[in-house]
Amino acid sequence: MNKFVLPEHPHCPHDHSQCVSDALSAAEQVCERAGARLTALRKRVLELVWQSHRPLGAYDLLETLAREDDRRPAPPTVYRALDFLQEQGLVHRIASLNAFIGCASPEHTHQGHFLICRNCRVAIELDQSLIHPAIAKVADQMDFSVEAETVEIAGLCSQCREAA
């Protein structure tokens, strides 16, 4: 099945603090191995990105930082942290929402593919076993060398569809 499947959902409560602590300790390891510095700020931004399984805008994160840090940071502060986290593969950007979400399996580098519910706004990261090969095959047919894949499927998750 799909090792990226995450249980969190407005209709599916779970121990989300576990998700957060898993993400943070995975981040420590990834940065350790890469020789990159997971500073307090970067760690805090990652934690904020992981506050839910919904993509969050940079200005949402900024707002939260401002509420807690007292001295309001400016946009570049959060964008630089997000750039770093994306470089380390700890965060994905969702182009169709101008938003960011924590990566569900940062241990190996990969493109983020997502199912995004328009109702509850939860984004589920897919494993690539089906979609990536299809993309690779099409690209090969067209003699196109792939560098980045944006795959964002919008619709309704099962819980939201049943609720409606």
Detail the residues annotated as belonging to a binding site for Zn(2+): 117, 120, 157, 160
Contact set with DNA (CB under 7 A)? 36-37, 39-42, 57-59, 71, 73-77, 79-81, 83-84, 93, 98
- CA–CA distances in Å: residue 66 to residues 40, 55, 69, 72: 15, 19, 5, 4
Question: Rule CB under 8 A: is residue 139 a binding residue for its own copies?
Answer: yes
Length of the chain as a residue count? 164
Least distance between Zn ion and beta carbon 53 (Å): 6
Taking the complex as a whole, the smallest distance from the CB of residue 94 to DNA amounts, in Å, to 9
Any contact of residue 8 with Zn ion (CB under 5 A)?
A: yes
Alpha-carbon distance 82 to 76, whole Å?
10
Nearest CA to 146 out of 133, 156, 158 is that of 133
Distance between start and end Cα atoms, the chain? 27
- DSSP class of residue 104 equals S
Q: Which residues are annotated as a binding site?
A: 117, 120, 157, 160
Question: For residues 69-128, which are near Zn ion according to CB under 5 A?
Answer: 117, 119-120
Binding site for its own copies (CB under 8 A): 1-2, 5, 95-96, 115, 117-118, 124, 126, 130-131, 133-135, 137-139, 141-158, 161
